[in-house]
C-alpha cells in the first residue's frame, strides 16, 4: 500500500510531478500503432524503498506496456538460467551509441551489442529457460511478476499491433539467426520478445521491480529472492552503460543512476542499496525516452544528491 499524501516523501514526489506537469514537449510513440492511443497527459512517479514501502504521486496505478523496461529483467532471468559466461557468449556488454532499434550489429561477427537494445534483447529472451517458445514466455511473465511482486498480464492488443508492424525487429532477428546468434524458429522467438514487451505494469510495479535490483535481487515487498546478488549487480552495470540507448552517456553524467527506458514512456531507475523509482509519461524525445521521465529523474538526482559518482 502507498503512504498517505501527508508523508514527506510523498509530498516531495508530488512537488516534482506538479512542477513538471506542464512540460509538453515530445510525442507518444506511434510506430507501434496501438501505443499512440494513450492519453499523453498521464504522469506518475513512484518510489519503493528497500523496506518495501511504496511512495507515489499521480497516475501510479494506471497500467501500460512495459516495452523495453522488460529488457534488464529478462537479462536477469537469462543470467539466472544460464550464468554470465554463456549469456555473454551470445550478446555483448558494450554501449552501441546507436538507437534502440539499430540494425548495426558487431562488425565482423554480427553479435548484438548489448541486452538493452532490441537486437540483444531478442537474443536474451531466447536464452531464458524453456524448451518451447510458450515455456519461455511463461518463464518471462512469471519472472517479471516475481520482480513486481504481483501477477501480471499481457496487453493482447499491443502484442498484436507490434507483431503486425514489427518488421524492423523481424529483420534484426533474421540477421542474427543467419549469423548464428539466434537459434530456433525466428518468428516464434519474435513472438516471445513481442509478448515480453506487451506485459502490463504500473508505475508502482516499476518502482518495486527496480527496488528488487537495487536490493541485490530480493523483492522488498514480498521478501522473495528473485535472482542472485551477483546477477542483480551485472544487470545494474549494463543498465548504467546502455540503459538509455544513445542517451546513456548524458544520463550517467547528469542523473548518475542505472536506468532503463521504454517507448511506452516508462523509465525505471535503481539506486543500489537504496531504492527503485518508476516514472510513466508517454511523450518521448527523439531517442525514445520519456521527456517528463528524464526531467523528473534529473530533478530528483540534483535535489537529493543521488548521483553515484558524488564524493561528498
Ligand atoms: N517493443 C519495442 C520494440 O521492440 C520496444 C522498444 C523500446 O521500448 N525502446 O520496438
pLDDT digits (tens, 9 = 90+) for 129-176: 999 999 999 999 999 999 999 999 999 999 999 999 999 999 999 999
Atom in ligand 1 nearest the alpha carbon of residue 118: 4
Handedness of CA 135, 31, 117, 183 (dihedral sign): positive
Is the pLDDT reported for residue 2 higher than 90? no
User: pLDDT category, 306, cuts 50, 70, 90?
Assistant: very high
Among 29, 30, 32, say which to mutate for ligand 1: greatest number of ligand atoms within 8 Å of CB: 32
Please report, for residues 117, 133, 152, 185, 231, the alpha-carbon distance to residue 188 in angstroms, rounded to integers and kept in the order given.
Answer: 19, 6, 21, 5, 27
Atom in ligand 1 nearest the alpha carbon of residue 263: 8
Handedness of CA 266, 271, 273, 275 (dihedral sign): negative
What is the rounded distance in angstroms from the CA atom of residue 219 to the CA atom of residue 239?
Answer: 19
pLDDT at 3: 66
Distance 155 CA to ligand 1 centre (A): 14
> Would you call 71 a catalytic residue per the annotation?
yes
Top-ranked range on mean pLDDT: pick from 2-16, 99-113, 181-195: 181-195
Distance 158 CA to ligand 1 centre (A): 11
pLDDT, tens digit, for every residue of 50-95?
999 999 999 999 999 999 999 999 999 999 999 999 999 999 999 9
- Looking at the structure, give the CATH architecture of the domain made up of residues 8-67+201-304: 3-Layer(aba) Sandwich (3.40)
Q: Assign 3-state DSSP to the chain and report helix, strand, coil percentages, each to 5.
A: 50, 10, 40
Q: Is 144 exposed, middle or buried (0-12, 13-18, 19+ CB in 10 A)?
A: buried
Is the pLDDT reported for residue 6 higher than 80? no
The answer to whether 65 and 155 have CB atoms below 8 angstroms apart is yes
> Would you call 54 a catalytic residue per the annotation?
no
Per-residue pLDDT, averaged over 114-132, amounts to: 97
pLDDT at 5: 66
pLDDT at 1: 60
pLDDT at 312: 78
> Would you call 263 a catalytic residue per the annotation?
yes
pLDDT at 97: 86
Strand partners, 47: 55, 277
* Cell triple for 310: 558524488
Among 30, 32, 67, say which to mutate for ligand 1: greatest number of ligand atoms within 8 Å of CB: 67
Q: Where in the chain is the domain with CATH 3.40.710.10?
A: 8-67+201-304, 70-197
Among 190, 197, 244, 265, say which to mutate for ligand 1: greatest number of ligand atoms within 8 Å of CB: 197
Write down the catalytic residue from 57, 68, 198, 301: 68
CATH code of domain 70-197: 3.40.710.10
pLDDT at 104: 87
pLDDT at 126: 97
Provide the mean pLDDT of the chain. Answer: 96
> Would you call 254 a catalytic residue per the annotation?
no
Rounded to the nearest 10 degrees, what angle do helices 118-127 and 71-82 cross at? 40
Residue keyed to cell 542499496: 273
Q: Which residues are annotated as a binding site for substrate?
A: 68, 118, 162, 169, 193, 245, 263
Write down the catalytic residue from 91, 193, 235, 301: 193
What is the rounded distance in angstroms from the CA atom of residue 99 to the CA atom of residue 247?
Answer: 9
Is the pLDDT reported for residue 221 higher than 70? yes
User: Which residues form the pocket of ligand 1, taking CB atoms under 6 Å from any ligand atom?
Assistant: 67-68, 100-101, 118, 162, 169, 197, 262-263, 288
> Would you call 260 a catalytic residue per the annotation?
no
Amino acid at each position: 500500500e502507498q503512504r498517505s499524501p501527508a508523508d514527506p516523501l510523498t509530498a516531495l514526489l508530488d512537488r516534482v510531478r506538479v512542477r513538471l506537469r506542464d512540460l509538453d514537449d515530445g510525442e507518444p510513440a506511434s510506430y507501434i500503432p496501438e501505443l499512440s492511443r494513450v492519453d499523453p497527459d498521464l504522469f506518475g512517479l513512484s518510489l519503493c524503498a528497500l523496506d518495501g514501502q511504496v511512495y507515489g504521486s499521480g497516475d501510479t496505478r494506471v497500467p501500460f506496456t512495459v516495452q523495453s523496461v522488460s529488457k534488464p529483467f529478462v537479462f536477469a532471468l537469462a543470467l539466472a538460467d544460464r550464468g554470465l559466461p554463456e549469456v555473454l557468449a551470445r550478446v555483448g556488454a558494450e554501449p552501441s551509441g546507436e538507437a534502440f532499434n539499430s540494425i548495426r550489429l558487431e562488425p565482423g561477427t554480427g553479435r548484438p551489442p548489448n541486452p538493452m537494445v532490441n537486437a540483444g534483447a531478442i537474443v536474451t529472451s531466447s536464452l531464458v529457460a524453456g524448451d518451447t517458445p510458450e515455456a519461455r514466455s511463461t518463464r518471462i511473465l512469471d519472472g517479471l511478476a516475481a520482480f513486481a511482486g504481483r501477477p501480471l498480464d499481457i496487453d493482447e492488443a499491443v502484442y498484436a499491433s507490434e507483431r503486425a508492424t514489427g518488421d524492423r525487429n523481424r529483420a534484426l532477428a533474421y540477421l542474427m539467426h543467419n549469423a548464428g546468434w539466434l537459434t530456433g524458429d525466428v518468428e516464434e522467438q519474435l513472438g516471445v520478445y513481442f509478448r515480453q514487451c506487451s506485459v502490463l505494469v504500473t508505475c508502482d510495479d516499476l518502482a518495486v521491480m527496480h527496488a528488487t535490483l537495487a536490493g541485490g535481487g530480493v523483492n522488498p515487498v514480498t521478501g522473495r529472492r528473485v535472482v542472485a546478488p551477483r546477477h542483480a549487480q551485472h544487470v545494474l552495470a549494463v543498465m548504467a552503460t546502455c540503459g538509455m540507448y544513445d542517451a546513456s552517456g548524458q544520463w550517467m553524467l547528469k542523473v548518475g543512476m542505472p536506468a532503463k527506458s521504454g517507448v511506452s514512456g516508462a523509465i525505471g531507475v535503481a539506486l543500489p542499496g537504496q531504492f527503485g523509482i518508476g516514472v510513466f509519461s508517454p511523450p518521448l524525445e527523439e531517442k525514445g525516452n520519456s521527456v517528463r521521465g528524464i526531467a523528473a529523474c534529473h530533478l530528483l538526482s540534483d535535489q537529493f544528491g543521488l548521483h553515484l559518482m558524488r564524493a561528498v
